[in-house]
Amino acid sequence: MSQRRSSRAAKRRPRAPVFAALGDEVRLSLIAKLCAGRPYSISQLTQGTGLTRQAITKHLRVLESVGIVHGVPRGRESLFEFDPKPMEETKKYLNFVSEQWDQALSRLKSFLED
């Protein structure tokens, strides 16, 4: 149970908004572009999407609100950058649940065999 405290800390940030923010094809494609690692400008992200700058900006704001991307000021315009942390937390959550099962099943084993 020693990992429990840190696992709990990892769980503190609500996950559902991250899931919801990703439940959109435009936003997923933005993430797909941004995850390559370098920051992009809104114009670069708009290019080839068939959407307006305003629409792309709106989607970026949703991603920004759950912490998956953040803006970095560069000259007159803002660049956007991918931040994997919230999604790593999602993965941590699965690991946390998985650990709980390991512990519960080992208790079941002792319960039946001891």
Partner 1 sequence: MNDRIEKRIELKAPVSRVWRALTDYREFGQWFRVELDGPFVPGEVSRGHITHPGYEHVKWEAVVEKMEPEQLFSFTWPHPKSLDKVDIAVDYSQEPKTLVEFRLQKTATGTLLLVTESGFDQLPGDRRLEAFRRNEGGWTQQMKNIENHVAAS
Q: Which residues bind partner 1 (CB under 8 A)?
A: 1, 4, 8, 11-12, 14-16, 18-25, 28-29, 31-32, 35-37, 84, 87, 90-91, 94, 97-98, 101-102, 104-105, 107-113
d(CA 67, CA 51): 23
Asked if 112 and 104 count as a contact pair (C-beta separation under 8 A), the reply is: no
The nearest distance, CB 42 to partner 1, in angstroms, is 19
Q: Is 41 or 99 the residue whose CB approaches partner 1 more closely?
A: 99
CA 40, 43, 47, 50 torsion: positive or negative? Answer: positive
Amino acid at 4: R
Q: Provide, rounded to whole angstroms, the least separation between the CB of residue 62 and partner 1.
A: 12
CB of 75 to partner 1, least distance (A): 27
- Shorter beta-carbon distance to partner 1: residue 28 or 42: 28
Q: What angle do CA 17, 96, 5 make, to 5 degrees?
A: 95
Instruction: CB nearer to partner 1: give 75 or 102.
Output: 102
Residues in the chain: 114
Tell me, what amino acid is at 77? Answer: E
Q: CB-wise, 73 or 113, nearer to partner 1?
A: 113
